[in-house]
Amino acid sequence: MSNRSSLKSWQSLENHALEMKQQHMNELFSLDEQRFDKFSIQLPSMLLDYSKNVITGKTIDQLIALAEECDVSGWREKMFSGQRINSTEDRAVLHTALRNRKQTPLYLEGENITDSVESALSKMKAFTEEVRQGQWKGYSGKRITDVVSIGVGGSNLGPQMVTEALKQYSDDSLNVHYVSNVDGTQIANVLRPLNPEKVLFIVSSKTFTTTETMTNARTALKWLVAASFDDKAVAKHFIAVTANKDNAVNFGIDEENIFELWDWVGGRFSLWSAIGLPIALDLGFEKFIELLEGAHEIDEHFCQAPLTENAPVILALLSVWNCTFLGAQSQAILPYDQSLHMLSAYMQQAEMESNGKSVTWHGKEVNYPTVPSIWGELGINGQHAFYQYLHQSNNIVPADFIGSVESVTPVQGHHQTLMANFFAQTQALMTGVDEQQVRADLKATGRVDEYIDKVAPHKVHKGNRPTNTILMKRISPRTLGSLIALYEHKIFVQGIILQICSFDQWGVELGKGLANKIHQQLDQPKVSINHDSSTNGLINFYQNIISAE
Ligand code: G6Q
């Protein structure tokens, strides 16, 4: 199979990029009044405006030709039909089956996994209702008031981001907390105000071997047993979500209390499964289903819309255009909605763990830049922090601006101010302001020439900085489901274009293995260590302080 960079469409794009690097968006907008209409897509839950990119109709045609040459549609079909496209782990990639709300049968090795998903959902529903309605009792007969979800990475970020985003939709039935860090400070702070009689722990771990999660789960178990003086209390207070039932049972969790995961659900795509149980407990099961419905809506759009009108495809192609062809090295995710305060962190994992790789799925080193680093912060806070860099540094950072027409918590006067900034920022990033204008503006305020000469260069904004705007009607379980699925499919398409296996994460293994070795050495200080001089020096410094105390 050919390397991407030898494709005809790739080479045309390389040539086209040379032309487009000379273009300014201001000129492109003045040449074409229909730009917004041409370069925006309206979906039931959101509007995507991508007109503020350094693109023309020709750019889009060539990007679509690239998508076709890379057979994006064929790969999409492979994913949805359960082919083992996670090639390095030899697994299917079927998070879409978890939200297949039409419940169309899907067979994997002879098993209709739609049935398995539906029965897992029924179990989640019954459990959620029992706990929320107070029928599930703790060891002393009291109802559960607090849920502590223990998990890390894909078993934490998605559910926590969604729980935070949908806080306004939660009632007072339960308080949901998350523990992910192995730094004991987090679990200690979470447990301190809680009453063990009323706490339910959910240990979420696909493998049920992750050191951090197991360490936190054991601490939680000790805390519970110390308070209840009863090993049997575990059955009333511990739930597991895992693909490794044996390990969960060995840990002491009742078989009845285990929710199943499948190997075809990747960690960072798992919030739609029982990994989303804390979300369902917090919001109620119906709202969890609405989240799945919103995602399913985008799955259908992704499968049915022509590539030119396909929002995830367009977002992926633009990312490839901006990074691989125009040379941007990072991308900002900038939500202008307080509910989405964890979205950038979530997107960091979703995109960087998926596509932050440099060999193709055939194991060959790629000869082009792959994905940018992803970073970001809530809109207004970021404006008063790093937007200076977005506007005037000599690095171009393409940015996704995500906002909502209506606030979920309307407070008079606030939302208009927020949204005025939302619209102004993408405009300013695009138009910039040239020296002539800066000088004229300063003159108009009565400034003397000497001052103008000194200050004008500092006030010039070159503009031409690409942004996408995603405008949602309002954050809700449904629209949030759509937003997350939009990005999931964007990441998938990007992986296909870049010829990267988006569904493994070998890059997290090396450090884990070394940490295990070093952990053993820390437990046995007398054992001589033989690392490089830096690592030896650091460990010695650490141990000397500990042994002196
Ligand atoms: C996600 C990754 C990774 C994983 C965590 C937790 O796609 O695989 O972030 O989710 O390492 O793993 P467990 O769920 O197995 O504890």
pLDDT in tens, 397-407: 999 999 999 99
pLDDT on residue 2: 56
Answer whether 122's CB lies under 8 Å from 504's CB: no
Could you give the CA distance from residue 126 to residue 363 in angstroms, rounded to a whole number? 45
Is the same domain home to 520 and 453?
no
pLDDT on residue 355: 96
| Percent of the residues in the chain that have a pLDDT greater than 90, as a whole number | 92
Q: Is 512 one of the annotated active-site residues of the chain?
A: yes
Is the same domain home to 516 and 437?
no
Q: Ligand 1, from 149, 161, 206: best to mutate by most atoms within 8 Å of Cβ?
A: 206
Could you give the CA distance from residue 384 to residue 390 in angstroms, rounded to a whole number? 12
Q: Which residues pair with 63 in a beta bridge?
A: none
Is the same domain home to 129 and 252?
yes
Residue 86 lies in a domain: no
pLDDT on residue 271: 98
Q: Ligand 1, from 88, 152, 504: best to mutate by most atoms within 8 Å of Cβ?
A: 152
Residue 81 lies in a domain: no
Is the same domain home to 283 and 379?
no
Is the same domain home to 443 and 408?
no
Is the same domain home to 254 and 150?
yes
Report residues whose beta carbon is within 6 angstroms of any ligand 1 atom: 152-155, 205-207, 210, 213, 266-268, 353, 505
CATH code for the domain in which residue 527 is found: 1.10.1390
Is the same domain home to 214 and 284?
yes
Is the same domain home to 453 and 475?
no
Give 158 Cα–ligand 1 centroid separation in angstroms: 11
Give 447 Cα–ligand 1 centroid separation in angstroms: 59
Cα–Cα distances in angstroms (integers) from residue 275 to residues 155, 204, 259, in the given order: 6, 6, 9
Residue 37 lies in a domain: yes
CATH code for the domain in which residue 472 is found: 3.40.50.10490
Is the same domain home to 260 and 331?
no
pLDDT on residue 140: 95
Is the same domain home to 413 and 437?
no
521 is in which domain, residue-wise?
A: 506-548
pLDDT on residue 63: 98
Please pick, among 102, 255, 384, 450, the residue that the annotation labels catalytic: 384
Residue 297 lies in a domain: no
Cα–Cα distances in angstroms (integers) from residue 518 to residues 185, 198, 269, 537, 545, in the given order: 21, 38, 31, 13, 17
Counting the structural domains of the chain, the total is 4
Is the same domain home to 395 and 455?
no
Residue 539 lies in a domain: yes
Residue 83 lies in a domain: no
Give 205 Cα–ligand 1 centroid separation in angstroms: 7
Select from 290, 323, 347 the last residue of a domain: 290
Is the same domain home to 225 and 329?
no
Looking from the CA of 110 toward its CB, the CA atoms found within 13 Å total 0
Number of residues assigned to the chain: 549
Q: Which atom of ligand 1 is nearest to the CA of 213?
A: 16
Classify residue 149 as left (phi > 0), alpha (psi -120 to 50) or beta.
beta
Question: Beta strand pairing status for 111-112 and 399-404?
Answer: unpaired
Is pTM beyond 0.95? Reply is yes
Give 267 Cα–ligand 1 centroid separation in angstroms: 5
Low-confidence ranges of the chain (pLDDT < 50): 1
pLDDT on residue 1: 47
**Looking at ligand 1, which residue's alpha carbon is closest to its atom 11?**
153
Residue 299 lies in a domain: no
Q: Which two tokens stand for residue 454?
A: 């000194």
Residues 6+ apart with CB under 8 A from 125: 280, 285
The full DSSP string for 65-87 is HHHHHTTHHHHHHHHHTT---BT
Residue 45 lies in a domain: yes
Select from 290, 322, 344 the last residue of a domain: 290
